[in-house]
Amino acid sequence: MKRTLVVALFIAALILLWQAATTSGRWSPVLLPPPRAVALYLWDALRDGTLVEAAGVTLRRLLLGYAIGIAIGLPLGLATSTSEYMQDTVGALALGLQTLPSVCWIPLALLWFGQTETAMLFVVVMGTLWSVLLATDTGARNIPPIYARAARTMGSEGFDKWTRVILPASLPFVVSGMKQGWAFAWRSLMAAEIFVTILTGFGLGHLLQYGRELSAMDQVIGVMVVIVVIGLIADKMLFSPCERFLHRRWGTGLK
């Protein structure tokens, strides 16, 4: 309760500061609209559905691409952690491609797939895949060997050993990799949406870009606020429960 109050006070203070900056008159209201204008934009955009629709389009792309990235990255990460050949080939490739900012995939995606949903999806998958792969690989390499030995004596071999022992044992690494993958995916998708107009759906990035083209600063800031809020909610909903689970089970990070 007290913590919620502190958060509310903090946000109120930020808005007050913003309001003070706009009323000081030092900056043009075109460049720095007052909080009220942004709130009005958000209210209107919520009511006429553009914001909800854009957020829906963006989240659908993001979640689908993210899921595909994890579905490929997890097993590949487990594979690179066991096989030297996989490590030298796929592992090295992942290491190299992870250093490539995921925005750099956009030109290639456009040439390959054109201005389509597939291009968007591709960029998100590339943003997610390598972080998840590398984190899983690190996780599987760092588990105490005694877990695998104990599992083998109890009759856990092959697929069962991978899914019931190696994967859960590397969860602390996997979750942080998934978190990083989420951040990368989110960034690359925003970049892609700002760059490219796709007629099958206007996402938040498009709204942001149109705001710029119309010099509608209230829209630009409004959409940015929405993007930040979605990011926060995703973190609280997807990752906080996972992290709480890990802390509880592993006994880490407890006071």
Residue 25 makes contact with other proteins by CB under 8 A:
no
Contact 173, 81 (CB under 8 A): no
Cβ neighbors of 112 (< 8 A, separation 6 or more) are 119, 122
Q: x/- site string to other proteins, residues 34 to 73, per CB under 8 A?
A: ----------------------------------------
* CA 137, chain centre distance (Å): 20
The only residue of 135, 171, 174, 178 in contact with other proteins, by rule CB under 8 A: 171
Please give the residues from 94 up to 153 whose contact with other proteins meets the rule CB under 8 A: 144, 146-147, 149-153
- Report the C-alpha gap between 133 and 184 in whole angstroms: 13
Residue 88 makes contact with other proteins by CB under 8 A:
no
- Report the C-alpha gap between 214 and 92 in whole angstroms: 45
Give how far Cα 230 sits from Cα of 25, 115, 188, 203, 204, Å. 32, 25, 15, 13, 11
Residue 163 makes contact with other proteins by CB under 8 A:
no
Give how far Cα 209 sits from Cα of 194, 204, 206, Å. 6, 9, 5
Ranges of beta strands (E only) in 54-191 are: none
Whole-number minimum distance, CB 169 to other proteins, in Å? 7
Whole-number minimum distance, CB 127 to other proteins, in Å? 28
Residue 154 makes contact with other proteins by CB under 8 A:
yes
Q: x/- site string to other proteins, residues 196 to 235, per CB under 8 A?
A: ----------------------------------------
Show the tokens assigned to 140.
């599987």
The only residue of 5, 155, 158, 200 in contact with other proteins, by rule CB under 8 A: 155
Residue 244 makes contact with other proteins by CB under 8 A:
no
Residue ranges binding other proteins (CB under 8 A): 144, 146-147, 149-156, 160, 165, 168-169, 171, 248-251
